[in-house]
Structure 1
Amino acid sequence: MTRPSTLLDCDGLILAGGKGQRAGGNDKGLLSWRGQPLAQHIQSTFAKTCERVLISCNRNAAQYQRMTPFVFPDAWGEFAGPLAGIYSAQPHMSKEWLLISPCDTPLLTPEYALRMFAGRRDNLISIAWDGERLQYLHCLLPASSFEDILRYLQSDGRSVKRWLDSRPLQRIDFSDRPEMFYNINTLDELAHLDSSQGQ
Protein backbone atom coordinates (compact mmCIF):
# COMPACT_ATOMS: atom_id res chain seq x y z
CA MET A 1 0.00 0.00 0.00
CA THR A 2 1.09 3.56 -0.58
CA ARG A 3 0.83 6.51 1.75
CA PRO A 4 -2.61 8.16 1.57
CA SER A 5 -2.83 11.67 0.12
CA THR A 6 -4.90 12.67 3.17
CA LEU A 7 -4.91 11.38 6.72
CA LEU A 8 -7.14 8.45 7.58
CA ASP A 9 -10.39 9.09 9.40
CA CYS A 10 -9.01 7.82 12.69
CA ASP A 11 -6.93 8.84 15.69
CA GLY A 12 -3.93 6.90 16.94
CA LEU A 13 -3.44 5.97 20.61
CA ILE A 14 -0.06 5.02 22.10
CA LEU A 15 -0.33 3.09 25.36
CA ALA A 16 2.51 4.16 27.66
CA GLY A 17 0.87 3.85 31.07
CA GLY A 18 2.55 0.72 32.42
CA LYS A 19 5.01 0.32 35.27
CA GLY A 20 7.72 -1.27 33.11
CA GLN A 21 8.41 -3.90 35.75
CA ARG A 22 10.23 -6.23 33.36
CA ALA A 23 12.31 -3.27 32.17
CA GLY A 24 13.67 -2.46 35.61
CA GLY A 25 10.80 -0.11 36.44
CA ASN A 26 11.73 2.23 33.59
CA ASP A 27 9.09 4.08 31.64
CA LYS A 28 9.32 1.94 28.50
CA GLY A 29 7.97 4.61 26.19
CA LEU A 30 10.94 6.83 27.03
CA LEU A 31 13.65 4.19 26.59
CA SER A 32 15.90 5.22 23.72
CA TRP A 33 16.38 3.30 20.47
CA ARG A 34 18.24 4.78 17.52
CA GLY A 35 18.41 8.14 19.28
CA GLN A 36 14.69 8.48 20.00
CA PRO A 37 12.30 7.30 22.72
CA LEU A 38 10.37 4.17 21.78
CA ALA A 39 7.09 6.09 21.91
CA GLN A 40 8.50 8.68 19.51
CA HIS A 41 8.95 5.98 16.86
CA ILE A 42 5.25 5.12 17.16
CA GLN A 43 4.27 8.79 17.21
CA SER A 44 6.21 9.45 14.00
CA THR A 45 4.53 6.49 12.32
CA PHE A 46 1.02 7.43 13.46
CA ALA A 47 1.51 11.08 12.49
CA LYS A 48 1.78 9.99 8.85
CA THR A 49 -1.63 8.33 8.83
CA CYS A 50 -3.78 9.37 11.82
CA GLU A 51 -5.59 12.65 12.39
CA ARG A 52 -4.44 12.94 16.01
CA VAL A 53 -1.85 11.07 18.02
CA LEU A 54 -2.89 10.47 21.64
CA ILE A 55 -0.68 9.14 24.43
CA SER A 56 -1.93 7.46 27.59
CA CYS A 57 0.70 7.69 30.36
CA ASN A 58 0.80 7.73 34.15
CA ARG A 59 4.14 9.50 34.64
CA ASN A 60 6.54 11.79 32.78
CA ALA A 61 3.68 13.61 31.07
CA ALA A 62 5.86 16.61 30.22
CA GLN A 63 8.22 14.43 28.20
CA TYR A 64 5.36 12.85 26.28
CA GLN A 65 3.89 16.29 25.60
CA ARG A 66 6.96 17.01 23.49
CA MET A 67 5.59 14.37 21.10
CA THR A 68 1.93 15.44 21.07
CA PRO A 69 -0.32 17.80 23.06
CA PHE A 70 -2.88 15.01 23.56
CA VAL A 71 -1.41 13.35 26.66
CA PHE A 72 -3.48 12.07 29.61
CA PRO A 73 -3.37 9.65 32.56
CA ASP A 74 -5.71 6.75 33.27
CA ALA A 75 -9.15 7.96 34.29
CA TRP A 76 -9.76 4.68 36.12
CA GLY A 77 -6.98 4.90 38.70
CA GLU A 78 -3.26 4.96 38.01
CA PHE A 79 -1.70 1.84 36.49
CA ALA A 80 -5.11 0.23 36.08
CA GLY A 81 -3.99 -1.50 32.90
CA PRO A 82 -4.11 -0.84 29.15
CA LEU A 83 -7.89 -1.12 28.89
CA ALA A 84 -8.21 1.78 31.33
CA GLY A 85 -5.76 3.70 29.14
CA ILE A 86 -7.89 2.98 26.09
CA TYR A 87 -11.06 4.11 27.86
CA SER A 88 -9.33 7.32 28.97
CA ALA A 89 -8.74 8.28 25.33
CA GLN A 90 -12.42 8.87 24.58
CA PRO A 91 -12.61 12.61 25.53
CA HIS A 92 -9.56 13.35 23.40
CA MET A 93 -10.73 11.66 20.20
CA SER A 94 -11.57 13.69 17.11
CA LYS A 95 -12.66 10.75 14.92
CA GLU A 96 -14.96 7.75 15.13
CA TRP A 97 -12.14 5.20 14.97
CA LEU A 98 -9.21 4.69 17.32
CA LEU A 99 -6.09 2.83 16.22
CA ILE A 100 -4.06 1.45 19.12
CA SER A 101 -0.46 0.45 19.69
CA PRO A 102 1.61 -0.09 22.82
CA CYS A 103 4.69 2.10 23.13
CA ASP A 104 7.15 -0.80 22.87
CA THR A 105 6.77 -1.88 19.21
CA PRO A 106 9.09 0.57 17.40
CA LEU A 107 9.19 -1.44 14.16
CA LEU A 108 5.63 -0.45 13.22
CA THR A 109 5.34 1.24 9.83
CA PRO A 110 2.51 3.26 8.24
CA GLU A 111 1.37 -0.01 6.65
CA TYR A 112 -0.14 -0.91 10.02
CA ALA A 113 -2.65 1.94 9.95
CA LEU A 114 -3.34 1.62 6.23
CA ARG A 115 -4.11 -2.08 6.36
CA MET A 116 -6.13 -1.90 9.58
CA PHE A 117 -8.26 0.98 8.32
CA ALA A 118 -8.79 -0.50 4.87
CA GLY A 119 -9.99 -3.75 6.43
CA ARG A 120 -12.53 -2.24 8.81
CA ARG A 121 -16.13 -3.36 8.46
CA ASP A 122 -19.29 -1.89 9.98
CA ASN A 123 -18.71 -1.33 13.71
CA LEU A 124 -16.60 -4.42 14.26
CA ILE A 125 -13.38 -4.28 16.23
CA SER A 126 -10.38 -5.18 14.06
CA ILE A 127 -7.34 -6.89 15.53
CA ALA A 128 -3.96 -7.57 13.95
CA TRP A 129 -2.97 -11.19 13.33
CA ASP A 130 0.73 -11.87 12.77
CA GLY A 131 0.30 -15.33 11.31
CA GLU A 132 0.69 -17.10 14.66
CA ARG A 133 -1.23 -15.09 17.22
CA LEU A 134 -3.59 -12.20 17.65
CA GLN A 135 -1.90 -8.96 18.71
CA TYR A 136 -4.41 -7.83 21.32
CA LEU A 137 -2.91 -4.37 21.83
CA HIS A 138 -2.82 -3.68 18.09
CA CYS A 139 -6.43 -3.08 17.25
CA LEU A 140 -8.84 -0.62 15.66
CA LEU A 141 -11.89 0.30 17.75
CA PRO A 142 -15.05 2.12 16.73
CA ALA A 143 -16.18 4.83 19.15
CA SER A 144 -19.24 2.70 19.91
CA SER A 145 -16.95 0.35 21.86
CA PHE A 146 -16.46 2.72 24.76
CA GLU A 147 -19.81 2.12 26.42
CA ASP A 148 -19.01 -1.59 26.53
CA ILE A 149 -15.50 -0.93 27.86
CA LEU A 150 -17.02 1.16 30.66
CA ARG A 151 -19.37 -1.65 31.66
CA TYR A 152 -16.46 -4.10 31.70
CA LEU A 153 -14.33 -1.80 33.86
CA GLN A 154 -17.23 -1.21 36.24
CA SER A 155 -17.51 -4.97 36.69
CA ASP A 156 -13.83 -5.03 37.80
CA GLY A 157 -12.64 -6.37 34.46
CA ARG A 158 -9.16 -5.23 33.47
CA SER A 159 -7.86 -7.61 30.79
CA VAL A 160 -7.81 -6.33 27.21
CA LYS A 161 -7.60 -9.91 25.94
CA ARG A 162 -10.64 -11.09 27.89
CA TRP A 163 -12.66 -8.08 26.88
CA LEU A 164 -11.77 -8.45 23.20
CA ASP A 165 -12.41 -12.21 23.28
CA SER A 166 -15.95 -11.44 24.46
CA ARG A 167 -16.64 -9.19 21.48
CA PRO A 168 -17.24 -9.87 17.77
CA LEU A 169 -13.87 -9.42 16.08
CA GLN A 170 -12.34 -9.52 12.66
CA ARG A 171 -8.72 -10.37 12.01
CA ILE A 172 -6.52 -8.22 9.81
CA ASP A 173 -3.82 -10.34 8.24
CA PHE A 174 -0.22 -9.28 8.84
CA SER A 175 1.28 -12.73 8.40
CA ASP A 176 3.61 -11.27 5.78
CA ARG A 177 4.84 -8.57 8.19
CA PRO A 178 5.07 -10.18 11.66
CA GLU A 179 8.24 -8.27 12.52
CA MET A 180 6.22 -5.08 12.90
CA PHE A 181 4.84 -6.39 16.18
CA TYR A 182 8.17 -7.24 17.81
CA ASN A 183 7.83 -5.78 21.28
CA ILE A 184 10.39 -4.74 23.87
CA ASN A 185 9.83 -6.10 27.38
CA THR A 186 13.33 -5.99 28.88
CA LEU A 187 16.43 -3.85 28.62
CA ASP A 188 18.29 -6.80 27.09
CA GLU A 189 15.68 -7.08 24.34
CA LEU A 190 16.11 -3.39 23.63
CA ALA A 191 19.91 -3.71 23.49
CA HIS A 192 19.65 -6.56 21.00
CA LEU A 193 16.77 -5.26 18.91
CA ASP A 194 18.75 -4.56 15.76
CA SER A 195 20.59 -7.87 15.76
CA SER A 196 17.43 -9.83 16.51
CA GLN A 197 15.80 -8.36 13.43
CA GLY A 198 18.77 -9.01 11.20
CA GLN A 199 19.46 -5.31 10.76
Structure 2
Amino acid sequence: MTVTAMILAGGLATRMGGQDKGLIPLAGRPMISWVIEAIDSQADAVIINANRNIEAYEALGYPVITDHVTGAAGPLAGIAAGLIGCRSEWLVTMPCDTPRVPAVLIQRLADGINGAEAAVAHDGQRLQPAHAMLRASAADRLETFLARGGRRMHDWYAAIDTATVDFSNHRDAFDNVNTPEQHARMEARLLGWQKEAR
Protein backbone atom coordinates (compact mmCIF):
# COMPACT_ATOMS: atom_id res chain seq x y z
CA MET A 1 0.00 0.00 0.00
CA THR A 2 1.40 3.39 -1.02
CA VAL A 3 0.00 6.44 0.75
CA THR A 4 0.17 10.17 0.07
CA ALA A 5 -0.76 12.42 2.98
CA MET A 6 -2.43 15.70 2.09
CA ILE A 7 -2.77 18.58 4.54
CA LEU A 8 -5.84 20.71 3.88
CA ALA A 9 -4.93 24.39 4.14
CA GLY A 10 -7.25 25.85 1.53
CA GLY A 11 -10.04 27.22 3.72
CA LEU A 12 -11.11 30.81 4.30
CA ALA A 13 -10.70 30.70 8.12
CA THR A 14 -13.49 33.22 8.67
CA ARG A 15 -13.52 32.64 12.44
CA MET A 16 -9.82 33.55 12.52
CA GLY A 17 -10.44 36.86 10.79
CA GLY A 18 -9.67 35.46 7.35
CA GLN A 19 -6.02 34.74 8.18
CA ASP A 20 -4.32 31.90 6.34
CA LYS A 21 -4.62 29.43 9.19
CA GLY A 22 -1.82 27.10 8.22
CA LEU A 23 0.69 29.94 8.35
CA ILE A 24 -0.44 31.42 11.69
CA PRO A 25 2.41 31.11 14.23
CA LEU A 26 1.70 28.49 16.88
CA ALA A 27 4.20 27.88 19.66
CA GLY A 28 6.98 29.39 17.58
CA ARG A 29 6.30 28.03 14.11
CA PRO A 30 3.59 27.94 11.43
CA MET A 31 0.62 25.85 12.52
CA ILE A 32 0.93 23.56 9.49
CA SER A 33 4.50 22.63 10.42
CA TRP A 34 3.19 20.73 13.45
CA VAL A 35 1.01 18.63 11.17
CA ILE A 36 3.86 18.07 8.72
CA GLU A 37 6.14 16.88 11.51
CA ALA A 38 3.52 14.42 12.73
CA ILE A 39 2.57 12.95 9.35
CA ASP A 40 5.79 13.01 7.31
CA SER A 41 7.20 9.78 8.75
CA GLN A 42 3.86 7.97 8.33
CA ALA A 43 3.39 8.54 4.58
CA ASP A 44 5.24 7.79 1.36
CA ALA A 45 4.72 11.40 0.26
CA VAL A 46 3.23 14.63 1.63
CA ILE A 47 1.39 17.32 -0.32
CA ILE A 48 -0.34 20.53 0.74
CA ASN A 49 -3.67 21.82 -0.52
CA ALA A 50 -3.69 25.63 -0.47
CA ASN A 51 -5.37 28.37 -2.48
CA ARG A 52 -3.38 31.44 -1.38
CA ASN A 53 0.13 32.27 -0.22
CA ILE A 54 1.33 29.45 -2.45
CA GLU A 55 4.99 30.49 -2.33
CA ALA A 56 4.97 30.47 1.47
CA TYR A 57 3.64 26.92 1.48
CA GLU A 58 6.06 25.80 -1.23
CA ALA A 59 8.90 27.14 0.93
CA LEU A 60 8.09 24.38 3.42
CA GLY A 61 9.52 21.92 0.90
CA TYR A 62 6.42 20.00 -0.20
CA PRO A 63 4.32 20.10 -3.40
CA VAL A 64 1.33 22.43 -3.24
CA ILE A 65 -1.89 21.78 -5.15
CA THR A 66 -4.86 24.13 -5.54
CA ASP A 67 -8.57 23.42 -5.84
CA HIS A 68 -9.97 22.70 -9.31
CA VAL A 69 -13.55 23.43 -8.27
CA THR A 70 -14.48 27.11 -8.04
CA GLY A 71 -16.88 28.61 -5.53
CA ALA A 72 -17.43 27.63 -1.90
CA ALA A 73 -16.93 23.90 -2.32
CA GLY A 74 -15.23 23.46 1.06
CA PRO A 75 -12.78 20.71 2.02
CA LEU A 76 -14.13 18.29 -0.58
CA ALA A 77 -12.69 20.50 -3.32
CA GLY A 78 -9.26 20.08 -1.79
CA ILE A 79 -9.75 16.35 -1.41
CA ALA A 80 -10.79 16.09 -5.08
CA ALA A 81 -7.64 17.94 -6.13
CA GLY A 82 -5.57 15.63 -3.94
CA LEU A 83 -7.11 12.48 -5.39
CA ILE A 84 -6.27 13.72 -8.88
CA GLY A 85 -2.80 14.96 -7.98
CA CYS A 86 -1.50 12.12 -5.82
CA ARG A 87 0.62 9.39 -7.36
CA SER A 88 -0.18 6.81 -4.72
CA GLU A 89 -2.89 4.18 -4.45
CA TRP A 90 -4.28 5.91 -1.36
CA LEU A 91 -4.73 9.48 -0.15
CA VAL A 92 -4.93 10.33 3.55
CA THR A 93 -6.23 13.77 4.48
CA MET A 94 -6.02 15.92 7.57
CA PRO A 95 -6.61 19.64 8.21
CA CYS A 96 -3.84 22.11 8.93
CA ASP A 97 -5.47 23.19 12.20
CA THR A 98 -5.17 19.93 14.17
CA PRO A 99 -1.52 20.05 15.22
CA ARG A 100 -1.60 16.91 17.37
CA VAL A 101 -2.05 14.34 14.60
CA PRO A 102 -1.87 10.82 16.06
CA ALA A 103 1.31 8.88 15.31
CA VAL A 104 -0.93 5.93 14.38
CA LEU A 105 -3.27 7.83 12.03
CA ILE A 106 -2.34 6.21 8.73
CA GLN A 107 -1.70 2.73 10.09
CA ARG A 108 -5.00 2.60 11.95
CA LEU A 109 -6.98 3.91 8.98
CA ALA A 110 -5.27 1.35 6.75
CA ASP A 111 -6.01 -1.46 9.21
CA GLY A 112 -9.65 -0.43 9.43
CA ILE A 113 -10.49 0.08 5.78
CA ASN A 114 -11.27 -3.62 5.18
CA GLY A 115 -11.81 -3.37 1.43
CA ALA A 116 -13.89 -0.17 1.56
CA GLU A 117 -13.26 2.86 -0.64
CA ALA A 118 -12.69 5.16 2.31
CA ALA A 119 -11.99 5.02 6.04
CA VAL A 120 -12.88 7.91 8.33
CA ALA A 121 -11.70 8.54 11.89
CA HIS A 122 -14.24 8.56 14.73
CA ASP A 123 -13.16 10.09 18.03
CA GLY A 124 -15.67 8.14 20.12
CA GLN A 125 -18.21 10.95 20.04
CA ARG A 126 -18.35 12.11 16.45
CA LEU A 127 -17.00 11.44 12.99
CA GLN A 128 -13.89 13.40 11.98
CA PRO A 129 -14.44 13.54 8.19
CA ALA A 130 -11.34 15.57 7.36
CA HIS A 131 -9.18 12.77 8.82
CA ALA A 132 -9.72 10.08 6.23
CA MET A 133 -8.13 7.59 3.85
CA LEU A 134 -9.52 7.29 0.31
CA ARG A 135 -8.71 5.28 -2.78
CA ALA A 136 -7.24 7.54 -5.47
CA SER A 137 -9.60 5.84 -7.91
CA ALA A 138 -12.51 7.67 -6.25
CA ALA A 139 -11.44 10.92 -7.93
CA ASP A 140 -13.92 10.80 -10.81
CA ARG A 141 -16.87 10.05 -8.56
CA LEU A 142 -15.99 12.87 -6.19
CA GLU A 143 -15.71 15.31 -9.08
CA THR A 144 -19.16 14.17 -10.26
CA PHE A 145 -20.53 14.58 -6.72
CA LEU A 146 -19.18 18.15 -6.62
CA ALA A 147 -20.42 18.97 -10.13
CA ARG A 148 -23.91 17.99 -8.99
CA GLY A 149 -23.72 20.45 -6.11
CA GLY A 150 -22.61 18.10 -3.34
CA ARG A 151 -20.69 19.90 -0.61
CA ARG A 152 -21.17 18.09 2.71
CA MET A 153 -18.44 15.64 3.63
CA HIS A 154 -20.90 13.41 5.47
CA ASP A 155 -23.02 13.14 2.31
CA TRP A 156 -19.98 12.16 0.25
CA TYR A 157 -18.93 9.43 2.64
CA ALA A 158 -22.52 8.17 2.78
CA ALA A 159 -22.50 7.91 -1.03
CA ILE A 160 -19.51 5.54 -1.15
CA ASP A 161 -18.42 2.44 0.75
CA THR A 162 -16.92 3.98 3.89
CA ALA A 163 -15.51 2.32 7.00
CA THR A 164 -15.51 4.08 10.37
CA VAL A 165 -12.33 3.68 12.41
CA ASP A 166 -12.18 4.05 16.19
CA PHE A 167 -9.78 6.70 17.52
CA SER A 168 -11.53 7.16 20.87
CA ASN A 169 -8.23 6.72 22.70
CA HIS A 170 -6.82 9.69 20.73
CA ARG A 171 -9.75 12.07 21.15
CA ASP A 172 -7.57 15.10 21.99
CA ALA A 173 -5.70 14.67 18.70
CA PHE A 174 -8.71 16.06 16.82
CA ASP A 175 -8.90 19.32 18.78
CA ASN A 176 -8.63 22.05 16.17
CA VAL A 177 -7.93 25.77 16.06
CA ASN A 178 -10.86 27.73 14.68
CA THR A 179 -10.88 30.82 16.89
CA PRO A 180 -8.31 33.06 18.64
CA GLU A 181 -9.40 31.52 21.96
CA GLN A 182 -8.74 28.00 20.70
CA HIS A 183 -5.40 29.19 19.33
CA ALA A 184 -4.37 30.47 22.77
CA ARG A 185 -5.38 27.21 24.46
CA MET A 186 -3.61 25.07 21.88
CA GLU A 187 -0.45 27.17 22.09
CA ALA A 188 -0.34 26.74 25.85
CA ARG A 189 -0.76 22.99 25.50
CA LEU A 190 1.95 22.66 22.85
CA LEU A 191 4.40 24.78 24.82
CA GLY A 192 3.74 22.59 27.85
CA TRP A 193 4.17 19.49 25.69
CA GLN A 194 7.55 20.78 24.44
CA LYS A 195 8.65 21.55 27.98
CA GLU A 196 7.78 18.03 29.15
CA ALA A 197 9.73 16.53 26.22
CA ARG A 198 12.96 18.26 27.21
TM-score calculated relative to the size of structure 2:
0.90
Distance 2:76 2:117 in 1: 17
Cα 1:71–1:124, aligned 2, differ >3 Å: closer, same or farther?
A: same
- What is the identity, as a one-letter code, of the residue corresponding to 2:69? W
* Amino acid of the structure 1 residue aligned with 2:137: S
Q: Is 1:102–2:100 an aligned residue pair?
A: no
Q: In structure 2, what is the equivalent of residue 4 of structure 1?
A: none
Q: Is 1:168 paired with 2:161?
A: yes
Per the alignment, residue 113 of structure 2 pairs with 120
Deviation at 1:158, TM superposition (A): 1.7
The root-mean-square deviation of aligned C-alpha atoms, in Å, is 1.8
**Could you tell which deviates more after superposition, 108-117 or 18-27?**
108-117
How far does the alpha carbon of each residue in 1:131-180 deviate from its partner, in whole angstroms, 9 at most, with x for none? 10010111100112112101101101122222112222211111111011
Q: Which residue, out of 58, 62, 80, partners 1:65? A: 58
After superposition, give the CA deviation of every residue in 1:20-75 in whole Å (9 maximum; x if it has no partner): 10001101111111212111111122210111111111101111112233102111
For 2:135, the equivalent position in structure 1 comes to 142
| Amino acid in the other structure paired with 1:52 | A
Identity rate, percent:
32
Query: Structure 1: any 5+ residue segments left out of the alignment?
Result: 1-7
CA distance in 2, matches of 1:179, 1:165: 25
* Number of matched pairs: 192
TM-score, normalization by structure 1: 0.89
Moved over 3 A (4+): 194-199
1:38 paired residue number: 31
Structure with the higher fraction of residues in helix conformation:
2
Aligned to 2:18: 25
Partner of 1:100, secondary structure, is strand
